[in-house]
Structure 1
Amino acid sequence: MSFGFVYERLGSPISEEFSARFSRMIELISSVVAPKIQTDDSEDLLSSITVFFQDMRDYDMPQLEAEVAFLHLLQNQEESIFDQIEDALLSDSTHIKRDALRALSRLFQLTFDGNSSIPCKAISILEQYIAWCSTSSITSAFSIIPLVLKNYPNLFSGALERRTLNRLTRTLRDTSHDNSASNLNFDESLAIRHRSSGVAMRLWNFYSLQKRSVPPIVESWRHQALSPDEFSEVRNQWVNGEINVFP
């Protein structure tokens, strides 16, 4: 039975409940199933995986995160997957865009051969998205930065570093308590401020451990976050040293 058949029986658009369950299934496939399947497994299994992803694409279901997790099996599919990620980031659909960001997040949790160009290509896509995405969309992109700092610290440089710091400057201004010109509602503003402050905290640790000068905007975030007037959700990240990588 194909995935498409199941999808048709459920109807379109699918219910929110099924969508949530499907999202958890994709996460399970990506984090548990994919690492256990090797290139020397049966051709029938690999063929079934290919058909599964094609079915999901045909029915516009979010599959990029899982497809990225199978990159070690999908020979010569890197360019196609990256093209899909870039197209998805331009989508008006929140769930399609989120799938692309989760795919990038998954990429930075994988280990690649030292000669692989995949991490650098992913960095290029991420830094461009951080540069032009709307303020309301920055939280998911910022969630990926801690993974880069942890697993690919040498790639946090150049355009990605510069654009991340620039966006931190903008989010500090846009989420300021006294910014009456902001078009963000309270919940949006707090979520963005919380995420931005968490990224700034990780960057402060990153620069400090490398004995590098901490950029002024990171110091500004630290000063703001530790202020007694700051929201506890924001301040506690610096006090406890914790940040969720991806919601």
Structure 2
Amino acid sequence: MTKLSVNINKIATLRNARGGNRPNVVQVALDCERFGAQGITVHPRPDERHIRYQDVLDLKKVVTTEFNIEGNPTPEFLELVKKVKPEQVTLVPDAPDAITSNAGWDTIKNQDYLKEIIADLKAIGTRVSIFVDPIVAMVEGAAKTGTDRIELYTEAYATNYLNDPASAVAPYAQAAQKANELGLGINAGHDLDLDNLKYFKQNITGLLEVSIGHALICDALYYGMENTIQLYLRQLQ
């Protein structure tokens, strides 16, 4: 079964809006694991507008499933990752002022840059995944960087799924086929939800993990966190 990693950034956003420590990010992560999540994802940004660097350090002490840290590999980010040594690092080329991730890496243009960073991270025993658009050439470029996995950026799929599911998933299926041929593991994330997740899973061969935050947290407002995580897990069976 494809693993579900819950991105808890939005929990930190809610906490930061009021100050104090409610909701408690660490406790929510523990509860997500208890409710069946197979991983916890965080994406600390330089302005710490949601997940703070201290949150990452605190979470490392207690997370017992896969801990996945996403982010742009700035010197500060890499310093944090080397201190924490999570099970997985997902490299994302987002600008400091980006509201959310909005593009994958150009793995051809940035190949040498990525090679150096990926080698450095793998040396500390961390699995590396890089965020890519569903373009075969970008997958081929990713294979040359030494990364262990790619994470398919699924916003375009989620947007187009509403009108034409088959056309929406087609480029992702092609990218996944190439990744499988090249020996790359496949993750996916961004705007996946209870409506589109099952179809995506059914059409992507070798999908190892999805990272879901915004939609899952929104659903939890109505269904409760435990029930919501179970609903998402059922879509991945």
Q: TM-score, normalised by structure 1?
A: 0.32
More strand by share: 2
| Bigger relative CO (Cα 8 Å, ≥ 6 apart) | 2
Bigger radius of gyration: 1
